[in-house]
Amino acid sequence: MIPLSQGPVPATADAVLVGGGINGLATAYELARRGLKNIVVIEQNYIGSGSTGRCGGGIRQQWTTAENIRLAQESVALYEKMSAELGYQVFFRQGGYLMITESEADLPALREAVALQNRCSVPTEFLQPAECLKIVPELDVSRLKGATFCPRDGTAYPFAVVWGYARACHRLGVKIFIRTAVRDILSDDGRVLGVETDRGRISAPVVVNCAGPWARHLAAKVGVELPNRQERHEIMVSESLKPFLDPMVISITNGIYFSQSLRGEIVGGIGDPHEPHWQDPADFDTRSQLRFAVRFARALIQLYPRAAEVRLMRQWAGLYDVTPDHRPILGGVPGLGGYYHICGFSGHGFMLGPVTGRRMAAQITTGHPDEIINSLSLSRFENGDLQTDAFVVG
Amino acid sequence: MNDNRIILCRCEDVTLRDFRQAYAEGFTELESLKRYTGLGTGFCQGKGCLSEAVLELAVLRDADPAGIRLTNIRPPAEPLTFAQLAGLDIPEHPAQADTGEDQS
Ligand SMILES: Cc1cc2nc3c(=O)[nH]c(=O)nc-3n(C[C@H](O)[C@H](O)[C@H](O)COP(=O)(O)OP(=O)(O)OC[C@H]3O[C@@H](n4cnc5c(N)ncnc54)[C@H](O)[C@@H]3O)c2cc1C
C-alpha cells in the first residue's frame, strides 16, 4: 500500500525532503534506515509526478567516465536486490542495453569505452553490426557500423520503484505528504531552520532539495544559484505485444531509444536538439507534440521495420534537469548548514537515484566526506572541474 | 452485484473490485489509480471508463465528482500505427515549420 500522511504537517522534523520522486524517496528511505527519526517528505503533486513518473526506466552502466560507471554499477547492485529489500515488485529486468552507431567515427570511442568499462568489471562487449542480430533478431543493421552490449543493464518500472520506496519509508516511520508545496526554505545565520509549506511551517535542521526540474527555483529561495536548465523530452508507449525485445536499444547517432515493458508495450523516445530550454518554472511546457511522434516513428521504422504496423497508444513529455557538464549536483553549500541538494541529473537520474540517495544519506548522517559527492558538488563550476561523459544520449 | 464481476475498464479488464482495492491500498489519486490498475491505458485510452472511474472515486472519497480531476489526456486521440505517423507531412525541425519553406 502507499501510505500517505493525512492532516496537518508536523511542526518539527529532523529532516525534510522536498520532492516525491526517486531522489526524495530513496534518500528518505536511506536516512531512515540509518536510524534518523522524524523524516518528512513533501510532494506538491502526487508521488512520481515529476520526471520520475515520465521517464523511460532505463538503467545502464555503459558510460565513458569512471565516475559514472562506478555510480551506475553501485546502482545496478541496488536494483538487483530492490524488490526483495523494499518488499515490493519493481519489475527490474536485465535485458541488457544495446548501444548502436551509424558512424564509423564513433568506433574508437566505443572501443575505448568498452575497455574502460571492462577494467571496472562491467561486462560490456563490442559487436559488429551483424552480431547485433543475435540480440535483436529483426533489427535492420544495414546502416550500423558497430555496437556495444552490456547484458547486465536493464529497465525497471518507475512508478513501482517510487511506490516501493514510499512503502518502505512508511514502515520506517517516514511521513509522506502529497498535494503539499514547499513555498520557502527558512534559514538564519548560516543555518537552515526548516520549510514553509502551503499547509504550515515545519522546523527542521536538515532540508534536502530533491525537487528535480524545480530544484533551481527552490534553491534560489536560500540564495543558492544552480546553473541547471530544464529541457522538454518526449516519450511514448505502443500497444502491448508479445515479448520480442530483450534489451533497451539506444542509438548514439540520433538519440532514439526503445525497450519493451513487462506489459509488452514498446516504450521509447528520441532526443531532439531543436527543443527549447527554460529556467523559470512559469515557462515549463510539457505539452506533447505531433512532431515528436513523427520523428520517433520514422527513426523506429528505420531500425526496426516490423514495428511499422504497431500502433502508438500514448505520448507524453517530461523535463530533464540539465547541468553544464551533464553530471548531477550533490551535497551542500558552504555557509548554509543543513541545506543539501540532489539534482541536475541531466536525463539519467532514475538509474542513479538509488545510489545517490544512499551516498547522500550516509554523508548527511555521518558527515564523512564522500569522494564522489565532493567531485559532484556545486563548487566544481567555479573551479572549472568539468568533465562531460561522451555517452549522454536520448 | 458482485463488484468482482463489474468491469470498469473493458480494454484492460479492470474490475470495480480492483479499483476499490487499489484505493484501499492508498492509490487515492486518479493518476496513481491509472498507473497501478492499468485503467484507461488500453485502446480507448479511457474514453469508456474515466468518467465511471471518477464517479466511483467520488463515492469512495465521499466527495463531489465535479471536484475530481481527470487524468491528463494524452495524444493521439485514436491509436495510430508508426507507419501512419511516419508518413505524415510534418517537418522534423520546428525551424522548418516556421520558415514555411518547402524542404522536400
Ligand atoms: C522523457 C524522459 C525519459 C527519461 N528516461 C530516463 C531513463 O531511461 N533513465 C534514467 O535514469 N533517467 C531518465 N530520465 C531522467 C529521470 O526521469 C530523472 O533524472 C529522475 O526521475 C529525477 O528524479 P528526481 O527525484 O530527482 O526528480 P523528480 O522525479 O522530478 O521529482 C521531483 C519532485 O519534486 C516535486 N516538487 C518540486 N518542487 C516542489 C515544491 N516546492 N514543493 C513540493 N514538491 C515539489 C515535484 O512535483 C516532483 O514530483 C528521463 C526523463 C524524461 C523526462
Domains of chain B: 1-89 (1.10.10.1100)
Inform me whether the pLDDT recorded for A385 exceeds 80.
Answer: no
Out of A294, A319, A344, pick the residue that ends a domain. A319
Q: Could you tell me if A6 and A65 lie in one domain? A: yes
Q: Based on the fold, state whether residues A136 and A28 are members of the same structural domain.
A: no
pTM of this structure: 0.96
CATH number at residue A271: 3.30.9.10
Do residue A237 and residue A218 come from a single domain?
no
CA-derived radius of gyration, chain B: 19
Last residue of a domain, one of A319, A351, A374: A319
* Structural domain range at position A220: 1-92+153-228+323-394
Q: Are residues A336 and A309 in the same domain?
A: no
Q: Identify residue B45 by its one-letter amino acid code.
A: Q
- Please give the pLDDT value at position B91: 80
Same domain, A284 and A329: no
Residue numbers in B near A48 (CB within 8 A)? 32, 35
How many domains does chain A divide into? 2
The answer to whether residues A171 and A302 belong to one domain is no
Dihedral through CA A258, CA A262, CA A263, CA A268, nearest 10?
-10
The pLDDT, as a whole number, for residue A4 is 77
Residues A246 and A294 in one domain: yes
Task: Report residue A182 as a C-alpha cell.
Answer: 514547499
**Residues A162 and A207 reside in one and the same domain:** yes
Residue B92 DSSP symbol: S
**A148 shares a domain with A24:** no
- Three-class secondary structure assignment of A119-180: HCCCCCEEECHHHHHHCCCCCCCCCCCEEEEECCCEECCHHHHHHHHHHHHHHCCCEEECCC
In DSSP notation, A43-64 reads: -SSSTTTTTGGGS--EE----S
Same domain, A10 and A88: yes
Residue A140 CA to ligand 1 centre (angstroms): 33
- Res B97: pLDDT: 41
Tell me the pLDDT tens digit for each residue of A105-150. Answer: 999 999 999 999 999 999 999 999 999 999 999 999 999 999 999 9
pLDDT at A384: 80
8 Å CB contact of B79 and A313: yes
Residue with cell 551533464: A326
Q: What pLDDT was estimated at residue B93? A: 73
Q: Is A69 a residue whose pLDDT tops 70? A: yes
Average pLDDT score over residue span A203-209? 98
- Cα–Cα distance for residue pair A170/A4, rounded to 1 Å: 8
Query: d(Cα A217, Cα A231) in Å, to the nearest integer?
Result: 15
Does B35 sit within 8 Å of A316, measured CB to CB?
no
| Ligand 1 neighbourhood includes A373 CB (under 6 angstroms) | no
Do residue A256 and residue A144 come from a single domain?
A: yes
What is residue A286's three-state secondary structure? Answer: coil
The verdict on A80 and A217 lying in the same domain is yes
Ligand 1 mean position, distance from CA A19 (Å): 9
Q: What is the reported pLDDT for B96?
A: 44
| pLDDT tens figures, A218-269 | 999 999 999 999 999 999 999 999 999 999 999 999 999 999 999 999 999 9
CA–CA separation, A209 and B7 (whole Å)? 42
Contact between B82 and A294 using a beta-carbon 8 Å cutoff = no
Q: How far is A23 from chain B (nearest CA, A)?
A: 19
Instruction: Check which CATH number belongs to the domain holding A370 and give it.
Output: 3.50.50.60
Low-confidence ranges of chain B (pLDDT < 50): 96-104
Picking from B45, B82, B95, the nearest residue to A314 by CB comes out as B45
Mean pLDDT computed over A11-34: 98
